[in-house]
Structure 1
Amino acid sequence: MKASTFQTLIVGLLCLAIAGLSGGLYNQYQHVAELQSTNTQYRQTLDTLQLDSSTLKDAQEKLQFALKDLKQMVDSGEQQANTLDPMLDQWAQEIQELRDGLAARANEVDMTALRARLEQVEQQLLDLRTQLSPPPPTPSAAKPKKTARPKPVPLSPPFSVLGVESRSGERFLAVAPPNSRSLMDVRLLHSGEQLGAWHLIVLELHSAIFAVAGQPDQNVHLP
């Protein structure tokens, strides 16, 4: 073999070896670049997970505070309920006793109110007859001067008017003894019912009309 041919062969082999090494180095470079890219993605994912973990921790702490406040509100509500329940039971019992008392006295009250109303009508009829039939004047008697009839003075009711309550579409007048603060003393008067000598004739929008034996109708203003 000639020396020139051998040198050519050696140079060719070296070129092939260099080309192979270059290809291997290129492949290694690409692999390293892929690993770096993957590492960067992993770091970004890890940062995102750490951020999500921090956000979740903050949300957990806020939720714990909210649960603590809610527990305090529930405890406070239970204390208020324990305080209000006996009062509500007492009021319900007093209202039921009032209803029972009204039902027991209904017939007696109706008869008393009817009797008082009848006496008032008879008295008004008697007054009307007296006004329409004056005694004839005598010639010797001096003509009396006309005097104005005194205006009747309104009577003060023997009770305090608390207001008007509606039950099943009907209006009742709530009254109680003067200066009384107990629900046991409250009475509900319907039209036609009577409290003492005061008989409720009608319950108007802003006043209540009472009939009192021997007196004109009394107009009591509502609060």
Structure 2
Amino acid sequence: MKASTFQTLIVGSLCLAVSGLSGGLYNQYQRVTELENANAQRLQTLDTLQRDSSTLMDAQEKLQYALKDLKQMVDTGEQQANTLDPMLDQWAQEIQELRDGLADRATEADMIALRARLEHVEQQLLDIKTQPPLPPPTPSSAKPNKAARAKPVPLSPPFSMLGVESRGGERFLAVSPPDSRSLTDIRLLHNGEQLGTWQLKALEPNAAIFTVPTQPDQTVQLP
């Protein structure tokens, strides 16, 4: 074999070897590039997962704080309820007591009747004040009968008697100052109570009996 022919075979073999090696290297390069791209995608996916995980952790932390605040609100609401329940019971009891007290007091009809009676008494007092004075007694009537026993002169009470009022089955004598025309000055006297030096001893159907110091019992007719 000629030397030129052998050299040509050697060069051809080397070219084939280099071509095969270059193809293999290129394939390895593409494989490495694909692996790098896949790794980059995995890293990007990992970063996205990490961000999502951080967001979830933040949301979980906020939810825990919200649950803690809600529990505190519930505990506070229970404490307020425990405090308000006795207060509501007390208020309900006080309202019921007020209702019972109002039921025991005089009704509006009683006040209207009492006002009408007072106006009637005031008119009677005005009529009495406007009447002319009585004429002086004649000498014959002015002479006392020495044989007859002297009778005590009845006293006039230092107040005006308006009538008798009933409260809870008890009878009270309604009185007021002589010159008063105000309802606020009216006073109800029960047996044993007194106004000034006059003490109410008893209430009869048509009269009131008073005890006055140093005087006999005074009987005053009711209006």
Q: Scaled by the length of structure 1, what TM-score is found?
A: 0.52
| Structure with larger Rg | 2
Structure 1 residue ranges without an equivalent (≥5): 124-155, 165-170, 181-223
**Distance in 2 between residues matched to 1:84 and 1:178, nearest whole Å:** 23
Question: What is the match of residue 131 of structure 2?
Answer: 118
- Select between 102-111 and 41-50 the one with higher mean Cα deviation: 102-111
**Distance apart, 1:108 and its partner CA:** 5.5
Instruction: Tell me by how many angstroms 1:41 deviates.
Output: 0.4
1:6 to 2:20 alignment: yes
Please report how far the alpha carbon of residue 99 of structure 1 lies from its aligned counterpart in structure 2 after TM superposition: 3.2
Give the aligned length: 140
Partner of 2:64: 50
Aligned residue in 2 for 1:103: 116
Match of 2:185 in 1: 175
For 1:159-170, what aligned pairs fall within 5 Å after superposition? none
- Stretch deviating more after TM superposition (66-75 or 47-56): 66-75
C-alpha spacing 1:116/1:104, structure 2 compared with 1 (3 Å): same
* Distance in 2 separating the partners of 1:105 and 1:26: 109
Matched, 1:74 2:88: yes
Q: 1:1-223 counterparts in 2 under 5 A? A: 2-93=16-107, 96-104=109-117, 106-107=119-120, 109-119=122-132, 122=133, 157-158=158-159, 172-177=182-187
- Amino-acid identity (%): 15
The Cα shift of 1:116 comes to 2.4
Structure 1: how far apart are the matches of 2:183 and 2:115?
Answer: 13
Shift of 1:56: 1.0
CA 1:173/1:83 → structure 2, altered by over 3 Å: closer, same or farther? closer
State the secondary structure of the residue aligned to 2:62.
helix
C-alpha distance in 1 between matches for 2:120 and 2:36: 122
Aligned to 1:151: none
Q: Classify the secondary structure of the residue corresponding to 2:73.
A: helix
Root-mean-square deviation (CA, aligned residues, Å) is 3.4
Q: TM-score, normalised by structure 2?
A: 0.52
Secondary structure of the equivalent of 1:6? helix
SS of the equivalent of 1:92 reads: coil
| Partner AA of 2:184 in structure 1 | A
Kindly provide the amino acid, as one letter, of the partner of residue 126 in structure 2: A
Q: In 2 relative to 1, CA 96–82 (structure 1 residues): closer, same or farther, beyond 3 Å? A: same
Q: Which runs of 5+ in 2 are unaligned?
A: 1-14, 135-156, 160-174, 191-223
Structure with the bigger RCO (C-alpha within 8 Å, sep 6+) is 1
